[in-house]
């Protein structure tokens, strides 16, 4: 069976999780890794049994035996690295957020169309079986009409001015790093723009946001969203309807979902019992798309990425 041959740019923390999950992937195989440091590339390749290790990104772009590239660099470099990969004729899966503003997002979407190449933002959450089961429950009316969403994602992140979390030169801040997840789960359910947004934010000494509390108002629905580097939050998503609610613990990497009635009784429960971190579902879906000649994902289309950029920009304007 033909498989998509993958390369990774930037062997950081998330790239380790991504590489680990290839052992559970059916339609793809990891063939190369590139770093600005040959030593880091070599060490990463040795750890995961990757045949090729490059000490520059350009070498990976030029490798004609690579079909797709996973961009795992800090946010600031997503546009540049994805642009270079698309120009080299590679399919691109870029870690979220796909870019740091709408103009960059539009540029990548236009380039992918021009080059007739596959492009997707790595919103891996959408591909998790628990998220898909929760969506099925909601779409089949098991909680009735959705009225409210409550979602938060926060951890107490030690301050380091040079880290990608807190460094403005690396587009640090909790909104781009963690806040995109509550926004993404809200878009997945509502799929419409809010009519009003209110925001309470706090900033670290470097000037980046380290706590963002967001209230989204719709015609007859609301969403209460929160992301933080300052404190550990509940990290659940609750999709609340007229007849009950869906509880998604640690929704951004959800292993399970619970369907509850209005008396808080659990009436259905799903657990995925997965073997990997959870990236295997995204990798297989993207690989299958590319094998079938698609240019974007039906689960995470580029229009969704554009909307998330719009909504983050709306929130940032309230800082």
In this structure, what CATH number is given to the domain that contains residue 239?
A: 3.30.360.10
149 and 256 in a single domain? The answer is yes
Task: Take residue 153 and report the two structure tokens written for it.
Answer: 């994602």
**Alpha-carbon distances, residue 18 vs 93, 121, 283, 318 (angstroms):** 11, 14, 8, 34
Asked whether residue 27 is domain-assigned, the answer is yes
pLDDT at residue 263, rounded to an integer: 97
Domain count, the chain: 2
22 and 135 in a single domain? The answer is no
134 and 258 in a single domain? The answer is yes
d(C-alpha 171, C-alpha 219), whole Å = 33
pLDDT at residue 59, rounded to an integer: 98
d(C-alpha 133, C-alpha 281), whole Å = 14
137 and 100 in a single domain? The answer is no
Low-confidence ranges of the chain (pLDDT < 70): none
- Confirm if 195 and 219 have CB atoms less than 8 A apart: yes
What residues make up the domain containing 46? 4-122+278-300
What is the per-residue pLDDT across 110-135, written as a single tens digit (0 to 9) for each? 999 999 999 999 999 999 999 999 99
Q: What's 47's domain CATH number? A: 3.40.50.720
> What is the reported pTM?
0.97
What is the per-residue pLDDT across 42-65, written as a single tens digit (0 to 9) for each? 999 999 999 999 999 999 999 999
71 and 97 in a single domain? The answer is yes
The helix-helix angle for 13-20 and 38-48 (nearest 10°) equals 30
pLDDT at residue 1, rounded to an integer: 84
Asked whether residue 109 is domain-assigned, the answer is yes
267 and 284 in a single domain? The answer is no
């Amino acid at each position: 069976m033909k498989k998509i041959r993958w390369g990774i740019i930037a062997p950081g923390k998330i790239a380790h999780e991504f590489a680990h999950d290839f052992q559970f992937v059916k339609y793809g195989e990891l063939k190369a890794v590139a770093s600005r440091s040959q030593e880091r590339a070599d060490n990463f390749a040795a750890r995961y049994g990757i045949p090729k290790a490059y000490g520059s990104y350009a070498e990976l772009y030029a490798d004609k035996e690579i079909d797709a590239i996973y961009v795992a660099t800090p946010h600031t470099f997503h546009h540049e690295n994805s642009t270079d990969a698309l120009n080299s004729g590679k399919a691109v899966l870029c870690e979220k957020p796909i870019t740091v503003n709408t103009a960059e997002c539009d540029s990548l979407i236009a380039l992918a169309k021009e080059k007739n190449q596959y492009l997707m933002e790595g919103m891996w959450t959408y591909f998790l079986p628990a998220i898909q089961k929760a969506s099925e429950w909601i779409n089949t009316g098991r909680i009735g009409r959705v009225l409210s969403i409550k979602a938060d994602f926060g951890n107490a992140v030690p301050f380091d001015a040079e880290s990608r979390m807190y460094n403005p030169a690396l587009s640090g801040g909790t909104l781009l790093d963690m806040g995109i997840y509550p926004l993404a789960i809200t878009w997945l359910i509502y799929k419409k723009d809010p009519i009003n947004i209110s925001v309470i934010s706090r900033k670290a000494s470097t000037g980046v946001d380290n706590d963002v509390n967001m209230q989204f108002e719709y015609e007859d629905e609301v969403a209460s969203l929160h992301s933080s580097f300052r404190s550990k939050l509940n990290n659940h998503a609750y999709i609340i309807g007229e007849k009950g609610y869906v509880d998604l613990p640690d929704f951004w990497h959800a292993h399970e979902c619970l369907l509850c009635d209005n008396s808080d009784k659990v009436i259905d429960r799903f657990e995925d019992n997965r073997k990997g971190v959870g990236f295997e579902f995204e990798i297989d879906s993207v690989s299958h798309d590319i094998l079938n000649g698609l240019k974007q994902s039906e689960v995470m289309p580029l229009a969704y990425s554009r909307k998330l950029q719009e909504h983050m920009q709306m929130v940032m304007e309230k800082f």
